[in-house]
Amino acid sequence: MNSVQYNLIKHKLGLLNLAVELGNVSRACKVMGFSRDTFYRYQATRDEGGI
């Protein structure tokens, strides 16, 4: 895995972790500048076994 892939994965996991920490998906998305649709796509990918 190269550093670009690593940074992208780290950023995606950061959004998922922030949502858990805040207990609010909308707020986490607003803070990180993502749409809720993007959050739920990241979450579905993680739940299927990958990121």
- Averaged pLDDT score across all residues of the chain: 93
- What are 14-35's pLDDT values in tens digits? 999 999 999 999 999 999 999 9
Mean pLDDT, residues 38-47 taken together: 94
Name the percent of the chain lying above pLDDT 70: 96
Say whether 10 sits in a helix, a strand or coil.
helix
Q: Give the pair of three-digit tokens for residue 2.
A: 């190269």
From CA 28, how far away is CA 33, in angstroms rounded? Answer: 8
Number of domains making up the chain: 1
Q: What is the pLDDT of residue 7?
A: 87
Which residue shows structure tokens 């809720």? 36
The tokens for 34 are: 């993502």
Q: How far apart are CA 3 and CA 25, in angstroms?
A: 27
Radius of gyration of the chain (CA): 11
Q: Note down the domain range covering 43.
A: 3-47
